[in-house]
Chains A and B, each alone.
Chain A
Amino acid sequence: MAGVGMLVTTVYAILFYLATLILVAGVGYRIWVYARTPAPLKIPTTPAPVTRAGVVMRIVREVVLFESLFKANKWIWVFGWVFHAGLLLVLLRHVRYFQEPVWKLIALIQPFGIYAGFAMVAGLLGLWARRLFVPRIRYISGPSDHLMLALIVAIGLSGLAMRYLAPTDIVAVKAFFLGLMTFDWQPLPADPVLLIHLTLVAILMMIFPVSKLLHAPGLFFSPGRNQVDNPRERRHLAPWAAELEAAEGRGR
């Protein structure tokens, strides 16, 4: 390693350590805040499940099928679901860059991962079109909403470009990431498209905890979705409400 190659490797190594730290610490902190904040009243959107198991199923349906969104709007649902399903496959496909040997399952989905990349971009473009052309959605969209779509589309396109237009040395890329994980740095190829792709990914990781991407952990903490409908059967009392009662010498 020498000269430009050395510099590129160092910069990207540091960038990815930083991005990972921000992503993990930031999202971890958010989850901690959500978990710590009490939900003083029973407010599930009813009809709601009356058992814990039912609630787990409700959340699973929301995460896997986007059930509520399906009820709301078929277009947003189609685009949103295709985008997220694509994203999931693409992410899984990327797992191979972080492990040696590669798990069977990860190896198995490699071919689908390619189509998933296209699906993801197509879904995003659909969502973007709605943002631009449906007056209601244009009204509620701010610069950050467009930029977020632009960012992920750009990540997708630069990724696809490496596959079809400007291939990079993926063996070296894998060595780089495996090296990062063992603190044994390996050179990163200085291909422009790769560097763009990686920069954008690092940006996405870093803004995750301070942006609307918090919807992913948020869903699991939404009282409208995660509460069991059993207020008559079980008394539900937040710590601060219990204090209020204790101060008056009431309750238990």
Chain B
Amino acid sequence: MGEMQTKEQLTPEDFLDPLEIPPIVKGAMADSKPYPAAPEHQEKLGFPGELVDDWHDRAIAKLGELASKYRGLRVYLDSCVKCGACTDKCHYFLGTGDPNNMPVARQDLLRQVWRRHYTFAGKYFPWLVGAKDLTEELLDEWYSYFHQCSQCRRCSVYCPYGIDTAEVSMAAREIMDTIGKGQKYCNEIIGKVHTVGNNLGLQAKALKATLEELEEEIEDDTGVSVRLPLDEKGAEIMLVTPSADFFAEPHIDGLIGYAKVFHQAGASWTISSHASEAANFGMFIGSYENMRKMALRIREAALDLGVKRIIFGECGHAWRAAYSFLNTLAGPFDFLDQNYPIPQHICEYTYDLIQRGVLKFDKSRNDHIRLTFHDSCNVARASRMGDMPGGQFEIPRAILRAVCNHFYDMAPETIREATFCCGGGGGLLTDELMDVRTKGAQPRIRALKEVIEEHGVTHMAAICAICKTQFAKIFPAYGIPMDTIVSVHQMVSNAIILDGEVRDDDDDDAEDDES
């Protein structure tokens, strides 16, 4: 696992079935654990700084409370028949063989405690139904395996009752947070959003400078002055985008793409420094309160700037938090223009402009690219775009086909609602979890290698900040160049024809193709 390879060294063994089921290896990933949150990270979110003395009782009480507040959790804990349909559906199981990474087994880590304390059978016949007390060892397993779930919902597609392990993981993490056993990566980030407004802790001044730099870069490239406005009151559209778009590759090329689209559409738009983050890690830790607090920042920013529309940039779980939850958490948005979806996805926006013929493209500028598309899990299985179910699959593909001549989908059992998580979602995008991230990416990588082999695919587009970072990071371990991952709006950016642009590099591009 994880050995470095270059592209030339790829052997037929690299082209394996993405769905191949591994042999079971008990405890294979038991040692995978994220760094614990420091007391200051915990307390900022209203959680105890460290493991409280009466953690056991508090955990049990919290479990009961959550089951009475969330019908999903309650029904999911009761309904599983152990049919096994989900056992081979999780990318972490496929990549590691650790049986606790089978969705039903992951749920059972929590369910056995639920049964012990809250069910007749578990109270009186624990051995019969596998009910267990919450011991320190079990708590340790929780910490380990509920941080090996990216909350991607692939299992929920296949469960006959729609049992969603993501909901179970969220509940488990919330219980752990309330007894003082939080995870550093998520909780530190949430704290930054509460105080500064984005995951990176990027201050307004730095943000301003970054955006100005980008404006210069675009002007150098195209000769057109495309603006990336910050905190402009009275703008019509507020763009809320993952903060990774401001600095990371290939995210930033996507941001340039949005700016060009807005420019060509003649839209008046702005980014907000108060709500300079689309991500909402409150979801990952299952905390309604924290999720809501972050969502309210977006409402406040929209009110403050007096915008009429809210558009979200490319990010998977952020789109779930926006599409599915924003109205609930921070609505009603009766002060916005009701003629547009609230909120709207940048892909919906761009697609609409394409449909209306507002945008012009020179597709040949992407001719050096043979493209595939990675459906991000939260977009695919927890949200929608457009009016039709499944619009979240069709709209990004329609955009890519409009800007690129060579598009090839990966194997059908690995895309759309069956898509595999990148391996880094759900709050796992942190270096100490590199091992599980790399292994969890295996099914997607195998599917990608199939189209590389079959169609000479050179790039894979995604609409999620986490997917982009994750792939850029783990591709090398699989012998794939890291810049194989691109933003959807990066492809738009490449092909879009700006009014009055000067492209002195067109010829260079053509020469590049030959090489």
State in angstroms the CA–CA spacing of A215 and B163 once bound together. 10
Q: Are B21 and A34 in contact (CB under 8 A)?
A: no
> Residues 25-66 of chain A: 1 if any B CB is under 8 Å from the residue's CB, otherwise 0?
000001001100111111101111110000000000010001
Picked from B68, B81, B87, B325, the residue with its CB within 8 Å of the CB of A136 is B87
Scoring B residues 71 to 82 as 1 if CB is less than 8 Å from chain A, else 0, what string do you get?
110111011111
Nearest chain B CB to A252 CB, angstrom units: 7
Residues of chain A lying within 8 A (CB to CB) of residue B75: 34, 218, 221-223
Please indicate the chain A residues that have their CB under 8 angstroms from the CB of B82 in the complex: 137, 140-142, 145, 212
Residues 63-97 of chain A, each 1 if its beta carbon lies under 8 Å from chain B, else 0 = 00010110111001000100000000000000000
Contact between B83 and A80 (Cβ–Cβ < 8 Å)?
A: yes
* Binary contact track B316-344/A, C-beta < 8 Å → 1, others 0: 00000001110110011000000001110
Decide if the interface of chain A is mainly helix, strand, loop or mixed.
Answer: helix
A48 neighbours in B (Cβ, 8 Å): 384, 389
Assess the A235–B327 pair: CB atoms within 8 A. Answer: yes
Residue among B87, B159, B331, B389 making CB contact with A50, cutoff 8 Å: B389
* One of A42, A46, A224 near B328 (C-beta < 8 A): A42
Chain A 138-169 interface 0/1 with B at a Cβ cutoff of 8 Å (1 = within): 01111111010000000000000000000000
Cβ-based interface call for A232 (8 A): yes
| Complex Cα spacing A236 to B332, Å | 10
Interface membership of chain A positions 217-249, coded 1 if the CB is closer than 8 angstroms to chain B and 0 otherwise? 011011111000101101111101100100000
Within 8 A of A (CB), among B33-54: none
A147 to B, closest residue via Cβ: B128
Q: Would you call A144 and B129 a contact (CB within 8 A)?
A: yes
User: A135 contacts the other chain (Cβ, under 8 Å)?
Assistant: yes
Q: With A210-B121, A218-B78, A229-B389 in contact, is A235–B159 under 8 Å at CB?
A: no
**B163 in contact with A47 (CB, 8 Å):** no
A223→B71 contact, CB < 8 A: yes
Q: Report yes or no: A69 in contact with B85, Cβ–Cβ below 8 A.
A: yes
Indicate with 1 or 0, residue by residue over B472-490, a CB within 8 angstroms of chain A CB atoms. 0000000000000000000
CB distance from A82 to the nearest CB of B (A): 14
Interface members, chain B 361-407 (any A CB < 8 Å): 380-384, 387-390, 392-393
Determine whether the beta carbon of B164 is less than 8 Å from that of A218.
Answer: no
Instruction: Given A137-B87, A144-B130, A235-B331, decide whether A40 and B70 contact each other with a Cβ distance below 8 A.
Output: yes
Min distance, Cβ B201 to any Cβ of chain A, angstroms: 26
Most buried by B among A131, A225, A229, A244: A225
The answer to whether A46 and B382 have CB atoms under 8 Å apart is: yes
A169 → B minimal CB distance (Å): 36
In contact, B72 and A222 (Cβ under 8 angstroms): yes
Q: A34-B71, A47-B392, A142-B129 are in contact. Are A232 and B342 (CB under 8 A)?
A: yes
CB-nearest residue of chain B relative to A69? B160
Q: Which residue of A lies closest to B24 (CB)?
A: A135
Is residue B55 contacting chain A, with contact meaning CB distance below 8 A? no
In contact, B159 and A72 (Cβ under 8 angstroms): yes
Pair A46/B163 contact, Cβ less than 8 Å: no
Report if A10 contacts B (CB, 8 A): no
Assuming the contacts A43-B167, A211-B121, asked whether A136 and B84 have C-beta atoms less than 8 A apart, the reply is yes
Give B280 Cβ to nearest chain A Cβ, in Å. Answer: 12
Cα-based distance from A126 to B260 in the complex (angstroms): 59
* Residues in B neighbouring A76, C-beta threshold 8 A: 83-85
Asked whether, in the complex, the Cβ of A43 is within 8 Å of the Cβ of B121, the reply is: no
Smallest beta-carbon distance B404→chain A, Å: 24
Interface 0/1 of B419-445, CB less than 8 Å to A? 000000000000000000000000000
User: Does A47 lie within 8 Å of B71, measured CB to CB?
Assistant: no
Docked-complex contact B79 and A212, CB < 8 angstroms: yes
B160 touches A219 (CB 8 A): yes
Q: Does A134 lie at the interface of the complex (its beta carbon under 8 Å from any beta carbon of B)?
A: yes
B327: which of A73, A80, A231 is its contact (CB, 8 Å)? A231
Query: Is A130's CB within 8 Å of the partner chain B?
Result: yes
Q: Please, which residue of chain B has its CB at the minimum distance from the CB of A77?
A: B85
B271 interface hit (Cβ, 8 Å): no
CA of A62 to CA of B157, assembled, Å: 12
Bitwise, B207-224 to A at CB < 8 A (1) or not (0) is 000000000000000000
Contact flag A223-B72 (CB < 8 Å), given A30-B78, A73-B85: yes
- Say yes or no: B81 contacts A215, CB within 8 Å: yes
CB neighbours (8 Å) of B102 from chain A are 136, 139-140
Chain B residues with Cβ below 8 Å from A80 are 83, 160
- In Å, the complex CA distance between A71 and B19 comes to 14
The 9 A-B residue pairs with the shortest CB-CB distance, nearest first, are A224-B162, A218-B79, A72-B158, A47-B389, A137-B84, A72-B85, A142-B130, A225-B162, A37-B71
Residues on B facing A (Cβ under 8 Å) = 21, 23-24, 67-72, 74-76, 78-89, 99, 102, 104-105, 108, 119-121, 127-130, 153, 156-164, 167, 288-289, 292, 323-325, 327-328, 331-332, 341-343, 380-384, 387-390, 392-393, 417
Given A46-B381, A212-B78, A222-B75, 13 extra CB contacts under 8 A: A37-B70, A38-B71, A48-B384, A72-B158, A130-B84, A136-B87, A141-B82, A142-B130, A144-B121, A212-B81, A215-B80, A241-B328, A244-B292
